Amino acid sequence: MFSWAASLVSLQLPIVYCWAFSCYKTESSPGFSLPGDYLLAGLFALHADCLQVRHRPQVTRCDRPGSFNGHGYHLFQAMRFSIEEINNSTALLPNISLGYELYDVCSESANVYATLRVLAQQGTDHIEMQRDLHNYSSKVVALIGPDNTDHAVTTAALLGPFLMPLISYEASSVMLSEKRQYPSFLRTIPSDKYQVEVMVLLLRSFGWVWISLIGSYGDYGQLGVQALEELATPQGICIAFKDIVPFSAQANDLRMQQMMRHLALARTTVIVVFSNRHLAGVFFRSVVLANLTGKVWIASEDWAISTYITNVPGIQGIGTVLGVAIRQRLVPGLKEFEESYVRALKGAPRSCPEGSWCSTNQLCRECHAFTTQSIPMLGAFSMSAAYNVYQAVYAVAHGLHQLLGCTSETCSRGPVYPWQLLQQIYKVNFLLHKDTVAFDDSGDPLGDYNIIAWDWNGPEWTFEVIGSASLSPVQLDINKTKIQWHGKNNQAPTSVCSSDCLEGHHRVVVGSHHCCFECMPCEAGTFLNKSDLHICQPCGKEEWAPEGSTTCFSRTVVFLAWHDPISLVLLTANTLLLLLLFGTTGLFARHLHTPVVRSAGGRLCFLMLGSLAAGCCSFYGFFGEPTVPTCLLRQPLFSLGFAIFLSCLTIRSFQLVIIFKFSTKVPTFYHTWAQNHGASLFVIVSSTVHLLICLMWLAMWTPLPTKEYQLFPHLVILECTEVNSVGFLLAFTHNILLSISTFACSYLGKELPENYNEAKCVTFSLLLNFVSWIAFFTMTSIYQGSYLPAVYVMAGLTTLSGGFSGYFLPKCYVILCRPDLNNTEHFQASILDYTRRRGST
């Protein structure tokens, strides 16, 4: 389906071109195209738009009488001049020639047409839709322009999927910095947001937090006021009064008189005027008539150095005026280049060659009529924009220089895909006539502003540059000594609603403005951050603070350390028990075939001792700083080890009962049990069940290292999560059931021969087990601290010690101290005595 649609689109685009121009022959002017190894495209408004109703998608013919745009002409020449300068350079792109395709984008339709022409594949006049646009190869590698935001949005949207670099020289809208929508868009003019940021920094640098804000009707003033308010308010600047100068306002009319009264009642020393020149003139005529003096006025770049404002009668007495102005730059040699172009351009436009795709938007009839005396004046505004074009072309050239791996003498040649060049352009960082050319992650330039102050020498006005503002990030550098403040002492005025609070006291807002406040001390656990004096900030999780604090103190991190006295006692006891288990294992291995060891279970004893040893080893995970392995293993390992021990103990007691009580009464069951290894099967099944419980425990209620902050304000307790989780309780319940089973089997065997009667010892072991865990759960309900792992170890150690002492210790005593009882004759006599007693009953 995709390939069918792609073929259809590639078929239709040439038809669209033909329809757009009615398939007639066109004319073109020299200078709109230049062959080269790599082509750049340029979009410039050499003519004004033609506002007329269209009944079909026909591209506007830009070359119309009376629509010539001198500003766009200078930008057009700036690109040609830049390309020629680069081609004549031996340091940049040696042995590589750049060419260009320039288009007159006087309208939206002409802009779309030029963009589609730019996207056409090399050697063709159509766009082929491909699955992988990364390998798409168009006739140009980058595009310079267009001249305004409306055109730039369309062009950026069309070029975005192809990741073709688009560098605009005049589109300054903030929305174009959104890389998810316009991934290949860059620009050499600062974004609109930076002027607002500079103004806010200017206000903050003088501590002016109580201001009035005036804007002019229209996008420039209203959006500027909105952006300034949104940015200033979170940074502690209050706007006492805000208003917009109407479009139809006249000096000292009723609306302006009302505005002047509100400004006077606001009692603000600083007034920001974000306005165009025309309405700023109306506003300041009203200010002079209202005698609103002794203020500090912050000017936006549109009127900061405008003589239209400085010519207002009486304006020199309004106070101090500071402003933001765009720094002026020159393109050396551009004026001479334009004159040489006029001298070389003779005759009428040429006809489009037969069979070619000559664009109607590559024609400028007025350009053919120019003389060196009639060239449009290259003013400061056009020169600044021309420098932006100059920067854009050089940025592409430097990106291409890096992509082709150029040396001082030569460059490699090969296909260049737009996305490859885009990556390199983002990396460029070079000097161009002492100005650094680079882009941030949003594709915005690293430009700057000038900060100016008005200077009156009698009736003569001038301005002085008192500082500069670099962008991305915005940084302000002001020489405050250059400012001539109004007033007698030449001191910077203040503009606040309430005085600062004492240290450790925060501001409680009174009224609707957060700059008007009362002072209250910060509560315990909070501190006053100087970046936000209205709210006592809570300390970080690792910190705490007393009442009225300006800083937080680090919490003490606690856990059950190895060197803690309680830890040393428990470690000593655990190690001693572990040594006893190893010693018992060796003792039983040496006396494996003696009656005592065989009556205790024979080789099964090694499994029981090993399970107890595993439980002992798990306790070492409760000491020191918790880690993922220790949290995962310590409780499940102990629980599994003790479950295996209880399973062996249960089946051992049950097996003795079967041998002595049921082997003669139920011989079939006894033989079936013996032949199918019932004892081993029970131990395996029971242990497997407990293992599955532990695995489910680890999977669903995974114990992991964590930090506990809620118990103590000045402490951080390192522990494992899910100490008493559902998984732990399930495993504990299984061990309780095994303990009850062990007790029941031992009780059934209370009348067995003395050497096989383990009821008392097992009862003692299980009693210790129950008591220790009852004490543990009682302690956890009333205590939560760093010694909780020690409580667990103590309970577990008591349980394992009870199991060892109740079952193995008596047998070790017989082996070591009463070898006379460890013989076959004694055990046979005991069995014979049991048989006689059973027979007598």
Read off the pLDDT of residues 774-785 as tens digits, 9 standing for 90 and up: 888 888 888 887
Once rounded to an integer, what is the mean pLDDT over residues 386-394?
Answer: 94
Cα–Cα separations (whole angstroms), residue 455 to 305, 316, 326, 467, 486: 11, 9, 18, 15, 11
Whole-number pLDDT of residue 6: 37
Residue 124 pLDDT class (50, 70, 90 cuts): low
Q: Hey, which of 388-402, 408-422, 609-623 has the most confident mean pLDDT? A: 388-402
Residue 8 pLDDT class (50, 70, 90 cuts): very low
Q: What are phi and psi of 16, to 5 degrees?
A: -60, -45
* Residue 432 near residue 426, CB atoms below 8 Å: no
Q: Is the pLDDT of residue 358 over 70?
A: no
Once rounded to an integer, what is the mean pLDDT over residues 605-616?
Answer: 90
Once rounded to an integer, what is the mean pLDDT over residues 592-600?
Answer: 80
Whole-number pLDDT of residue 19: 38
| Higher per-residue confidence, 461 vs 611 | 611
Q: Is the pLDDT of residue 14 over 50?
A: no
Residue 534 pLDDT class (50, 70, 90 cuts): confident
Give the CA angle between residues 833, 838, 840 to the nearest 5°: 95
Lowest mean pLDDT among 146-150, 247-251, 508-512, 827-831: 827-831
Per-residue tokens: 209: 């937090």
Outline where DSSP puts E strands in 721-823.
none
Whole-number pLDDT of residue 17: 43
Spell out the alpha helix ranges (H) of 272-414. 277-289, 307-310, 334-344, 365-369, 380-403
* Encoded amino acid at 261, one letter: R
Dump pLDDT digits (tens) for 621-657.
889 889 999 998 888 999 899 899 888 888 877 776 6
Whole-number pLDDT of residue 21: 39
Once rounded to an integer, what is the mean pLDDT over residues 279-295?
Answer: 92
Q: Is the pLDDT of residue 10 over 50?
A: no
Whole-number pLDDT of residue 219: 63
Q: Is the pLDDT of residue 15 over 70?
A: no
Lowest mean pLDDT among 331-335, 728-732, 743-747: 743-747
Dump pLDDT digits (tens) for 198-227.
999 999 999 999 999 999 886 667 878 888
Once rounded to an integer, what is the mean pLDDT over residues 667-684?
Answer: 72
| Higher per-residue confidence, 540 vs 98 | 98
Single pTM value for the model:
0.51
Once rounded to an integer, what is the mean pLDDT over residues 81-108?
Answer: 92
Once rounded to an integer, what is the mean pLDDT over residues 131-148?
Answer: 83
Residue 418: HSE in the Cβ half-sphere, 13 Å Cα cutoff: 31
Once rounded to an integer, what is the mean pLDDT over residues 365-370?
Answer: 71
Q: Is the pLDDT of residue 478 over 90?
A: yes
Once rounded to an integer, what is the mean pLDDT over residues 174-184?
Answer: 87
* Residue 8 near residue 122, CB atoms below 8 Å: no
Cis ω on the peptide bond leading into residue 459 (within 30° of 0)?
A: no
C-beta contacts of 82-91 below 8 A and 24+ residues apart: 82/389, 82/390, 82/393, 82/394, 83/34, 83/36, 83/40, 83/393, 84/337, 85/333, 86/393, 86/394, 86/397, 87/36, 91/408
Residue 349 pLDDT class (50, 70, 90 cuts): low
Lowest mean pLDDT among 46-55, 541-550, 603-612: 46-55
Q: Is the pLDDT of residue 756 over 60?
A: no
Residue 158: HSE in the Cβ half-sphere, 13 Å Cα cutoff: 19
Q: Hey, which of 4-8, 142-146, 188-192 has the most confident mean pLDDT? A: 142-146
Residue 4 pLDDT class (50, 70, 90 cuts): very low
Whole-number pLDDT of residue 25: 43
In the chain, what is the greatest distance between 2 CA atoms, to the nearest angstrom?
Answer: 144
- How many whole angstroms separate alpha carbon 82 and alpha carbon 661? 109
Q: Hey, which of 672-676, 717-721, 754-758 has the most confident mean pLDDT? A: 717-721
| Higher per-residue confidence, 546 vs 658 | 546
Whole-number pLDDT of residue 397: 96
Q: Is the pLDDT of residue 188 over 70?
A: yes
Once rounded to an integer, what is the mean pLDDT over residues 16-23?
Answer: 40
* Residue 214 near residue 273, CB atoms below 8 Å: yes
Q: Is the pLDDT of residue 53 over 70?
A: no
Once rounded to an integer, what is the mean pLDDT over residues 536-551?
Answer: 84
- How many whole angstroms separate alpha carbon 18 and alpha carbon 802? 98
* 639 C-beta neighbours (distance < 10 Å), count: 25
Lowest mean pLDDT among 147-161, 520-534, 723-737, 820-834: 820-834
Q: Hey, which of 78-87, 320-329, 357-366 has the most confident mean pLDDT? A: 78-87
* Cβ burial 794-823 (10 Å sphere, 16+ → b, else e): bbbbbbbbbbbbbbbeebbebbeeeeebbe
Dump pLDDT digits (tens) for 780-818.
888 887 888 888 899 999 989 888 888 888 888 888 888
- How many whole angstroms separate alpha carbon 166 and alpha carbon 187? 8
Q: Locate tokens 């699955």: which residue?
A: 131
Residue 757 pLDDT class (50, 70, 90 cuts): low
Q: Is the pLDDT of residue 604 over 50?
A: yes
Average model confidence (pLDDT) across the chain: 82
Residue 658 pLDDT class (50, 70, 90 cuts): low
Percent with pLDDT over 70 in the chain? 83
Whole-number pLDDT of residue 405: 92
Q: Is the pLDDT of residue 354 over 60?
A: no
Whole-number pLDDT of residue 540: 81
Once rounded to an integer, what is the mean pLDDT over residues 488-499?
Answer: 85
Once rounded to an integer, what is the mean pLDDT over residues 270-281?
Answer: 87
* Encoded amino acid at 755, one letter: N
Residue 346 pLDDT class (50, 70, 90 cuts): low
Collapsed DSSP state (helix, strand, coil) of residue 433: coil
Whole-number pLDDT of residue 831: 58
Q: What are phi and psi of 274, to 5 degrees?
A: -100, 90
* Residue 803 near residue 649, CB atoms below 8 Å: yes
| Higher per-residue confidence, 602 vs 451 | 451
